[in-house]
Every structure is written in C-alpha cells, then in structure tokens.
Structure 1
Amino acid sequence: MRADRLVSLVLLLRQRGRLSATALARELEVSTRTVLRDVEALAAAGVPVYAERGRHGGFALLPGFRTELTGLNHDEALALLVAGSRRGAQVFGLGSALASAMLKVIDALPESQRDTAAGVAERLLIDPEADLLSRRLVAEEVPDPIAAEVRRAVFAGRKLRIRYAAVGQAPKWRTVDPIGLVTVRDQGYLLATRSGADRTYRLSRIVAAEELAEPAQRPDRVDLDRAWQERSARFRAGGDLVTTLVLVDPARRDDLVGTALAVLAEEADADGRLRLEVTFQDSRHAEWALWQLATHAEVLSPQWLRTALGDRAAAVAARYEAPS
C-alpha cells in the first residue's frame, strides 16, 4: 500500500509541478504528517524531491527527473475496467485505485501526447456531484474495507460471511456464495446464492464482511446482465409493489422514470401529455415520487393513490389560506 502511495506522490509532482503538503494529502487521502514521512522516504531513496518555503511553497522534483513508475497493480487495472463510470468505481471501493491508475496511464504516454491529454482532461467533467439546479447526486457510501473484502470473495470464488441489515430488521450474520457485483444509479449490489437460492444484497447495508477459505458453490461462468434482468423481473412481480397509471408533462418524464422502479408501458395522450404505467417499491414510495411532480403529473389509478395525493394537496392549501 505504501509503495503504491509513494509512486502516486512522485507522479503527482511530475505531472502537476509544485504541490503543498495539504494538496498532496488531499489527493492521496492521507494526513499531512504521512505526506511528510513519505517525502522523507523518497529523498532517502534518492528521488530528487525538495521543499520550497513561503506562502506559495510546497514540494517539487528537480527538472528533468524521470523514472519508470507506470506498472499497474491489480486494483488499478480493475478500476480502469469500470472507469466508464467513476461513480461505479466509488461504489465498489475503487475510487482511489482509479485515481492512481489514471496518473500512471498519463505518465506512460509520450511527452507530446501527455501534455495534450492533460489539457483535454481539463475540459471534460464526467458525473459531477450536482446537477444544474445544485441538487447533489449522492452515491451510497460503502466503507473501503467492506468493499475490498466483498470484492476479494467474488473474484477468488470463496464463500463470504456478511452481517447484513435488511430493511426494518436488526443486522444478522449470513454465509453466502458470491456471484458478482452490479451498480445501478450509484447503488451497488452483491448477487449471490444462499443455500442454493438466489439472493441480492445492497452493498450499503452490509455492515461487516469476511472472506472465508471455503470455495463458493457457483458456476464457472456467469452472464451477469441476464442474471440481473431475471432478478429484477422477479422483484417486480412480488412484494408490495405499486403499479400506477400516470399522465405526465413530457418535460418531466425523465423525473418520473428516474424515481420509478420500472416503466411497463408508455404512449402519447390526446392532450399532449404522456401516459405511463410505472411501478414503485411500495405505497410510500409512490406517493412521495408523484408528490414531487406537483401539477406536472396526474395519477389516473389506483384510486387510493389519487385520493392520498388529493388529501395531501388539500391539507397544504388549507395551511396557506390563513395569513401568517
């Protein structure tokens, strides 16, 4: 771990020039004290790193210094495979590995291409933390040690012991055979079997994990896309799901679809609105999601949901009738 961090520190100084201890600590996700110790270790190993004092000081490398530091480790190579979604890397606990891998990839380019790539990268922003209305897009937090333990069991094909907090229940230990990992809308899931039955666990609800030495009982090959579709279909077919028919303003169609579990049917209505049949996780989810759309959506069925939204609107109107 420290060797990888020292490599990343050198690459940061090579590519960005002088950086303060605070900036390096932020990039490497360590304390400033750790950065100072790492700089001392690099100097002792012969790396020409020096400190500049003053308000705009920091650490830098002597001009022209270059060494071969571009070998990717396992997690960095894996991070590049999921780099199509930086948020996916974060969900699986590979965010720091992705940052380190990208430093090494840039450093491996010829000097002329490296300068061009750095300039281009400054003009691309992928998956920012907020949209144009400053609404934060919050990904679920999965502690790195838990994510790493789950990943190891999945890749090594060993049984996994997890302490899982299901909705409305106290955390319980259970032993599963891990099959694969899936990320959907910044939410990570572990696909597994337990006593031969399919199970799907939300990564953010795993409060502890332990890879076991015993081999997992699972097929050698897996089609994760198909497995996910099958489990999604079973999920939509059971439980407390609510299916509702909604008329929605086309401009707010994506807002509705973004909160629903699935869209079962969609067609244009005579009045210019879209008629969608969508499912929600339960009655509370349905009422919350449709209330956000205000007058931009109208529930046609079920009647109890239409009544619930009407009662809520009447209560709000009554509250604001009287002067404050």
Structure 2
Amino acid sequence: MRADRLVSLVLLLRRHGRMTADRLARELEVSTSTVLRDIEALSTAGVPVYAERGRHGGYALLPGFRTELTGLNHDETLALLSAGPGRGERAFGLGPALASALRKVVDALPDAHLATASDASRRLLVEPETDLLSRWPVTEDVPATTMAEVRSAVLTGRRLRLLYAATGETARWRTVDPVGVVTVRDRAYLLALRSGADRTYRMSRVLAAESLPDPAERPDEVDLDRLWRDRCARFLADGHLTVLVRVDPTRRDDLLNTAVAVRTEQPGPDGWPRLELTYQDAWHAEWALWQLGPHAEALSPPSLRTALHTRATTLANRYG
C-alpha cells in the first residue's frame, strides 16, 4: 500500500508541479504527517523532492526529473488488460495508440505477474458486441484521418474547417473554434464555438476536416463535463416532449432504449417504476409506448394517452 502511495505522490508532483502537504494529503486521502514521512522516504531513496518556503510554498520535484514507474499492482494491471481492449480503444480514434501503450505495459511486467493478470483478464469481458437479447450496439464509425485532424485542432488550440452534413441539409463547410471532443456510447461529438456561439457537431456527420493555422478563440480553461451537461440540458429543453410512464420492471430496459433521455425515475406503489422520459416529439412518444403494449402506460401528457387510446380502439375494432 505504501509503495503505491509513494508512486502516486511522485505522479501528482509531476502533473501539478508544486503542491502543499495539505493538498497532497487530500489527494492521497491520508494525514499530513503521513505525507511528510512519505516525502522524507522519497528523498532518502534519491527522488529529488524539495521544499519551498513561504506563502506560496510547497513540495516539488527538481525540473526535468523523470523516472520509470512500472510498479503496477495486480488490480491495476488487470484493469488495463481487461478494460483496454473494450470500447475505450475506439474513443477519439486512439485505438492504435492504446494498443501500443498496452504492449509497453505488458513488456514491463514480471513474467509471473503477467501470467496471473492475463489469465484473469480473459475471464472479464467489457462491452461485448451483443447483449442477451442479441441486439447489436449502434456504433458510428468516424474515419481515422478525420478524427485525427479534429483531435489535433482540439489539442493544439487551432481553428477547424468542417464539411458537415446536418440533418436534412446539404453538406457545407463551416469554420469553428474547437473546445473538446466527447464520446457517449460509441458516438463522438465535437463541442465548439462558431462566431462565439455554442455548437455541438456529431462526428459521424463530419465528412471532412481541416486544421487551420489560426489560433482558436476559446476559453483557456474548460470544465468539459459541466459543459456537456449544460448542452444536454439545452438540447432536451428545445422542442422535445416530456412523458411520465409506468412500466413493467421486466421491460424497463426496452423502454429506456426508445427514449432520448431519462429525467427522473421513482418506484411506484404497484411495483412498476415511474419514469419521466424525453422523446423527440409526440409521434416518437406514441410509437415508443405502442411497442410495449400492456407492459407500459403513459400517465401524462393527456394528449399522448388519447392518441394511444384512439390507436388501440381502431385496432380492436378492426379485429373485432
């Protein structure tokens, strides 16, 4: 445990530069006195950790210090070997880089350690191609060259030209200031600014991309997770229909697969959970609820209940 903590301490200093003992203690979830003992142990072992006094002081590594940190424990090795080849390899077009990194990690492991971890990883499967209902996941392939160009512009802070085909529109070129790339269930989205306004582009609709030499006009610091949540909230509030549904718990997953998003979920008094869902429009909601027949009931809005009643009555009369 202490060896892992010492490695984590060095990695924190390499990543953040100067850090106070209190901040290191919070990051490592230990006491300040433990951090001070760990720093003394690192210094004794030859790791060049030094202290800076004063109001903005703390601990830091000597500039240029690098070290080989290959002391992965069993669970860390297992996490890399089992999760690495899963859906992560498709994220951001970095599959080849991930494979190369895993080869380097494997090469650095002791033979006995590698044997046990490799055997264990074969007994863990992440994101198989089908689920128990034999449904294939919806994946959207983005050409590697396109993703590489977008990724380069995002990371280097340069403007980007996109040949983008929006829904129902002819593809046309547009120039944007890229902010970040987000992947959600094997779908990739580019978050960008266009003339200062927020824009979200689905990467599968980007037909071509060209990184420009001009610097992007974007914030220096960005909280991508918060930004994505804000854009999702605006998307869901823009012309979508909110529906309250009670559903047979055995068909809950089928219901979720039809919705754009789930807003809330609460248990129901009859054992059927109540879910507040978002659909694209009234037709989409009617179609989705009809697929589940008696296993789901729309509680609101009244217009959806009326539409389903009319459809059911028409069908019952036809087969009467």
Q: If the TM-score is normalised by the length of the shorter chain, which range does it land in?
A: 0.5 to 0.7
Q: Which residue pairs with 1:268 in the alignment?
A: 267
Q: Whole-Å Cα distance in 2 between the matches of residues 285 and 180 of structure 1?
A: 31
Contact map agreement 1:244 1:302 (CA 8 A) in 2? yes
Give the CA deviation at 1:118. Answer: 2.0
Q: Helix, strand or coil for the counterpart of 2:137?
A: coil
Q: Which residue pairs with 1:172 in the alignment?
A: 172
Q: Helix, strand or coil for the counterpart of 2:93?
A: coil
Q: Which residue pairs with 2:242 in the alignment?
A: 243
Q: Whole-Å Cα distance in 2 between the matches of residues 174 and 120 of structure 1?
A: 48
Contact map agreement 1:91 1:142 (CA 8 A) in 2? no
Give the CA deviation at 1:258. Answer: 4.1
- With the length of structure 1 as denominator, give the TM-score of the two structures: 0.67
Contact map agreement 1:86 1:95 (CA 8 A) in 2? no
Shift in alpha-carbon separation, 1:306–1:157, aligned structure 2, 3 A: same
Q: Deviations over 1:12-33 (max 9, x none)?
A: xxxxxxxxxxxxxxxxxxxxxx
Contact map agreement 1:106 1:117 (CA 8 A) in 2? no
Give the AA of the match of 2:273. Answer: L
Shift in alpha-carbon separation, 1:84–1:196, aligned structure 2, 3 A: farther
Q: Whole-Å Cα distance in 1 between the matches of residues 116 and 278 of structure 2?
A: 47
Shift in alpha-carbon separation, 1:166–1:196, aligned structure 2, 3 A: same
Q: Deviations over 1:159-210 (max 9, x none)?
A: 0100111111111111000001111122111110000001111111111111
Q: Which residue pairs with 1:216 in the alignment?
A: 216
Q: Which residue pairs with 1:254 in the alignment?
A: 253
Q: Helix, strand or coil for the counterpart of 2:218?
A: coil
Q: Whole-Å Cα distance in 2 between the matches of residues 316 and 97 of structure 1?
A: 56
Q: Which residue pairs with 2:296 in the alignment?
A: 297
Q: Which residue pairs with 1:122 in the alignment?
A: 122
Contact map agreement 2:84 2:98 (CA 8 A) in 1? no
Q: Helix, strand or coil for the counterpart of 1:99?
A: helix
Give the CA deviation at 1:312. Answer: 4.5
Q: Whole-Å Cα distance in 2 between the matches of residues 283 and 132 of structure 1?
A: 30
Shift in alpha-carbon separation, 1:292–1:143, aligned structure 2, 3 A: farther
Give the CA deviation at 1:92. Answer: 1.9
Using the TM superposition, name which of 204-213 and 296-305 deviates more: 296-305
Q: Deviations over 1:33-78 (max 9, x none)?
A: xxxxxxxxxxxxxxxxxxxxxxxxxxxxxxxxxxxxx9xxxxxxxx
Give the CA deviation at 1:243. Answer: 0.8
Give the CA deviation at 1:135. Answer: 1.1
Structure 2 gaps, min length 5:
1-69, 71-79
Q: Whole-Å Cα distance in 2 between the matches of residues 206 and 233 of structure 1?
A: 23
Does 2:158 correspond to 1:158? yes
Q: Whole-Å Cα distance in 1 between the matches of residues 250 and 312 of structure 2?
A: 22
Contact map agreement 1:164 1:172 (CA 8 A) in 2? yes
Q: Whole-Å Cα distance in 2 between the matches of residues 94 and 213 of structure 1?
A: 23
| Count of aligned positions | 240
Shift in alpha-carbon separation, 1:311–1:99, aligned structure 2, 3 A: farther
- With the length of structure 2 as denominator, give the TM-score of the two structures: 0.68
Q: Whole-Å Cα distance in 2 between the matches of residues 97 and 318 of structure 1?
A: 61
Q: Which residue pairs with 1:103 in the alignment?
A: 103
Q: Which residue pairs with 2:205 in the alignment?
A: 205
Shift in alpha-carbon separation, 1:215–1:293, aligned structure 2, 3 A: same
Q: Deviations over 1:282-317 (max 9, x none)?
A: 234323332332321111222333344345555666
Give the AA of the match of 2:186. Answer: D
Shift in alpha-carbon separation, 1:102–1:289, aligned structure 2, 3 A: farther
Contact map agreement 1:250 1:273 (CA 8 A) in 2? yes
Give the AA of the match of 2:155. Answer: F
Q: Deviations over 1:104-143 (max 9, x none)?
A: 3212211222222221221111100100121111311111
Shift in alpha-carbon separation, 1:95–1:317, aligned structure 2, 3 A: farther
Q: Whole-Å Cα distance in 1 between the matches of residues 298 and 118 of structure 2?
A: 50
Contact map agreement 2:161 2:210 (CA 8 A) in 1? yes
Give the AA of the match of 1:287. Answer: E
Contact map agreement 1:91 1:139 (CA 8 A) in 2? no
